[in-house]
Amino acid sequence: MKKITLQFVALICLPLIVSAQTFIDPNLNVEAKVFAYQLASAPTIDGSGTEWNNIPWQKLYFLDKDYNNDGLADPIPGRNDYEAEFKAAWVNGSNILYLLINIKDDRFHNPDSVNWYNKDGMEIRIDPFDAEDAGEPSSTGTAFNLGFTIGNNNASGLEGPSTNYTAAWTVKENSFPKEATLETGIVLPSTVLLQKNYVMGFMLYCSDNDNEQDGSPKDKDAVLAPWPQRYYGATKSKIGIDGTWENIYYWGNIECIALNIHEVPSGGSIQSAITSAEEGDIIKIAAGTFTENITIDKPYLQLIGTITSSDTTKLMPADANQPVIKVADDDAAYGTVVSNIGFNGWSVGQDGSVVIGNKGVEIGSALTQVTGSYFTGFERPIIKSGVDSSKAHAGVFEDNHLYKCKGGINFNTPNTIMRYNTVEEASGGYGLESKGVLAGSAIDISYNTVFNHHGECAVGYGGAGVFTVHNNFFVRSEQLYGSGDTTGDDGIENQDDGGSTDYIYNNTIVGWKSDGMQLGGSSRGTSNYHIANNLIANCAGKDFDIRKTGSYEIDYSLSYKNKGGNLATTLGTHSVEVDPQFTNEFEDDFTITTSSPAVDAGLTEPFGFKLMYYGNNVDIGAFETGSPVVSVEELKTELPANYTLEQNYPNPFNPVTTINFSIPANEKVTMKVYNVLGQLVSTLADGEYNAGTYKVTFDASRLSSGIYFYTLQTNSFSVTKKMILMK
């Protein structure tokens, strides 16, 4: 009977599914879809999430907010400010959808006097039969809404048909950022019996509210959602995520699939695992060196490398002229994830010559993510393939370290995110490049470091989209900019005539061989530039070279010793020409001291965008002073029941960070730090410890910027996490 019922539901809903589905791309090829993974048995709803370990997190990146009314999503908050991710699960034959949702924030805003809609929390919208189109759920339809505020097990704002649920929170108020996790089981209609490939209408967004104003939706500072701006299939008209408030109710889908994990042992074939995999499968690759050229030609595969205390997953090309990983063109492999892999392009030819690899990862499909990976020795480490700009939308490139390559990250399609990457010692090209972007698109380039670049500019971009370039370190060492080295061009460059809207704020730009920023077309520039809170010093050209533009505004800048001229004080307002007082520029530490004139001197909410800051105001430049530093100590808390290793704080950090760990019994503990090549760089703990919770302070002042891994190991427990040093 179950099979017949599901087939009948599918038949009657098929036309509605076609009309209601939303898409990532204008060609309507890429569905706005996420997955629920199958569990053998129902998880216990207690807030711990212990049964969810094998299910991957799905991060929420794309903002549902348009505070400045440019028709596009605003910039994504930094990690210390606001992050959200979720897991989804189902049990065969059950009618319960399980969700585990995790939020990290600098503070939780839940005053009793404020309506639930303007507190920190989330909304979960589900249409079990994927039959409705959009708008508020009604009592006569099939869709419903649950709203949860942080720490409250009781749903608020329930709309649509009545439903049952169980919910449990765990909230860590004493960590930084603060962390809250909701575990919930949502009971669907009794006629819904979940099985593989069952599809439901779905929308999840997590909201961060820092204001108490008039109770309107515009009080929301940030609302993170699973998908970028989407295309509505029935009309094929493009909608902004927040063009009107109702647009958040256009459905994406959640699909029930099996949890298939393919293990690739050292010496095995990654391509063979891909060939045997199905959509949504996870491919875990052992530590060791693999020499292959890989093609991914099916959607939503995840290639996850392994990091141990002694080794990592390393991938080299069998043919240096071909990409190490090719993500298929024409959106055939949308949703690909590549994570925690070391890519090495250097090899020795038969004649003894050194050969550099051509491409690391070449991408022709939408929603591709490359995260936590290391690239060395490639001409083009991460690059979009030759598909046109209607393909390969919404790439995410985060936490990657590109070292001694000829270029950086080159990706020029709509709704791309480049965050927390380090491009170091590149010998050519742009560190980060996004050019020719079409109108109606958003690009977020933030929290990156481009260090000692010997190519063109740190960032080169342009087109008709909206760009936010913020909180980046674009620096060349004092040894380079002081030695007559002539490589390297501008820190930030947009010379496109395409008519973009540019928000450039809180960047630190030091030592470039031309201008700090070179902006505007050469003939008929029509781009509009909004510039604030930038620190530009020691460039051979000007701080701001403004050419032909539609308009520009420059505010709250600090310029110093730019040989071509410090123009910020004449081009804009609230700007100064003064020594920024770097911490130690001769040791490549371009953070600012607490006595710097940049401290508390910036614009608090530039252009309406949300910024987290310490002290009385936001600082000028990429580095925010005042982050707390703690000593090493045992915390006087209840004895822990489990082993834990917390994420370091702050992260990224410079140069000091804090790591918490807990052990439930007296035993020997080691905590060590490794670089991306698996080399030991520091031992933080090595001895006998009593049961308890501990804080460890790690000073990385002697290390270079990049990705590092820290491992906690006892006789019965071992875990590794990643951290980012950004100088």
Q: Return the bridge partners of 192, or none.
A: none
CB 401 within 8 A of CB 422: yes
CB 682 within 8 A of CB 657: no
The values of phi and psi at residue 213, to 5°, are -110, -110
CB 598 within 8 A of CB 558: yes
Name the DSSP class of 319: S
Q: Residue 276: is its pLDDT beyond 70?
A: yes
Tally of CA atoms within 13 A in the half-sphere of 194 that contains its CB: 29
Name the pTM for this structure: 0.87
Assign 1 to helix, strand or coil: coil
Beta strands per DSSP E along 270-356: 282-285, 288-291, 294-296, 302-304, 313-316, 325-327, 337-339, 342-344, 347-348, 354-355
Return the number of other C-beta atoms located less than 10 Å from residue 385's C-beta: 17
Percent of the chain at pLDDT exceeding 90: 54
Q: Residue 91: is its pLDDT beyond 90?
A: yes
User: What's the CA angle centered on 263, arms 261 and 267, to 5 degrees?
Assistant: 160
Q: How much is the pLDDT for 193?
A: 96
Domains of the chain (ranges plus CATH)? Answer: 2-257 (2.60.40.1190), 633-725 (2.60.40.1930)
Sole residue written with tokens 């940030």: 222
The values of phi and psi at residue 709, to 5°, are -130, 135
Tokens of 654: 């410079």
Confidence of residue 262 (pLDDT cuts 50, 70, 90): very high
Assign 212 to helix, strand or coil: coil
Q: Return the bridge partners of 518, or none.
A: 493, 545
**Residue-wise pLDDT tens digits, 449-506:** 999 999 999 999 998 888 999 999 999 988 888 777 878 899 999 988 888 999 999 9
Q: How much is the pLDDT for 627?
A: 53
Q: Residue 73: is its pLDDT beyond 70?
A: yes
CB 655 within 8 A of CB 623: no
What distance in Å separates the CA atoms of residue 690 and residue 62, rounded to the nearest whole number? 44
What distance in Å separates the CA atoms of residue 417 and residue 432, rounded to the nearest whole number? 11
Tally of CA atoms within 13 A in the half-sphere of 406 that contains its CB: 12
Q: Residue 236: is its pLDDT beyond 60?
A: no
What distance in Å separates the CA atoms of residue 504 and residue 265, rounded to the nearest whole number? 45
Task: State the chain's mean pLDDT as an integer.
Answer: 86
Which H or E element spans position 121? strand 121-127
